[in-house]
Amino acid sequence: MKTYILGIDISTAVIGFAVMTVDHKLITYDKLKFKKDLTLEQRAEYFKNKVKSIDSYYCISEVFVEQPAMMFGRGKTTANTMSKLQRFNGMCCYAIYDLLKVQAGMVHPNSARKKMNISIPRNVLNKKHFIIDEVKKKYPKFNYKLTRYGNPQPGTDDIADAIVVAYAGVCIYNEGNNDNGENKDSKWCPRISKKTKFRTSLYLSIL
């Protein structure tokens, strides 16, 4: 049975999802956009249902999530925004564990991009568009719609980030399996076989 890795970019507005095989083949990607009047609890419930839907098709073996901001950015992140995102991230990670019995690995965005050989030049004005372009180069089948001004539609950057996280997750998964000699593809699905795999959450610092 194929082993599928799920990469997720979590925010309180839009969540990006990407599924890959252990040979870095991009299988599918999607986004989940929330209405502004939803509570965090309601958003977490929508998130859980989305993960459940993805898992019903691919039987996800491992999940990797982009690590949320841990420090303030100049003029970008307020204490309230950071607190809200941290709380929501925790709710989503618990939903993943509750549903899949898999502990999500947290991947720092810089580390994830490094795994995919994405280096953002200092003179780049729009980092989000740059990452989208880099992902498109790596995966030409990554399609997205443009606004009337020629820019990627909102949410495209969230999907691109999820693809980068999934790519990094595959690297981490393969590195771990190479260490212990396991086969890359699982012979059983944890949920189908009713076995439970407990994975240690993996934190990557800025390299």
- Over residues 149-183, the pLDDT tens digits come to 989 999 999 999 999 999 999 999 999 887 543 55
Quote the CA–CA distance of 79 and 155 in Å, as a whole number: 23
Contact 40, 91 (CB under 8 A): yes
Q: Which long-range contacts link 184-190 to residues 24+ away (Cβ below 8 Å)? A: 184/3, 184/22, 184/23, 185/1, 185/2, 185/3, 185/22, 186/1, 186/2, 186/3, 186/61, 187/1, 188/1, 189/1, 189/59, 189/61, 190/59, 190/61, 190/100, 190/101, 190/102
Q: Return per-residue pLDDT of the chain as tens, 207 residues.
A: 789 999 999 999 999 999 999 999 999 999 999 999 999 999 999 999 999 999 999 999 999 999 986 655 555 567 788 889 999 999 999 999 999 999 999 999 999 999 999 999 999 989 999 999 999 999 999 999 999 998 999 999 999 999 999 999 999 999 988 754 355 565 445 444 333 333 333 333 333
Report pLDDT for 185.
Answer: 61
Report pLDDT for 64.
Answer: 98
Give a three-class secondary structure readout of 60-122: EEEEEEECCCCCCCCCCCCHHHHHHHHHHHHHHHHHHHHHHCCCCEEECHHHHHHHCCCCCCC
Q: List b or e across 38-59, with b for residues whose CB sees 16 or more CB atoms inside 10 angstroms.
A: eeeeebbeebbebbeebbeebb
Report pLDDT for 160.
Answer: 98
Report pLDDT for 77.
Answer: 64
Report pLDDT for 12.
Answer: 95
Report pLDDT for 201.
Answer: 37
Quote the CA–CA distance of 14 and 16 in Å, as a whole number: 7
Comparing CA positions, the residue from 45, 55, 58 lying closest to residue 94 is: 45
Question: Pairing relation of β-strands 105-107 and 60-66?
Answer: parallel
Report pLDDT for 179.
Answer: 52
Report pLDDT for 76.
Answer: 58
CATH number listed for the domain at residues 4-116+154-204: 3.30.420.10
Contact 9, 30 (CB under 8 A): no
Report pLDDT for 195.
Answer: 32
Contact 19, 29 (CB under 8 A): yes
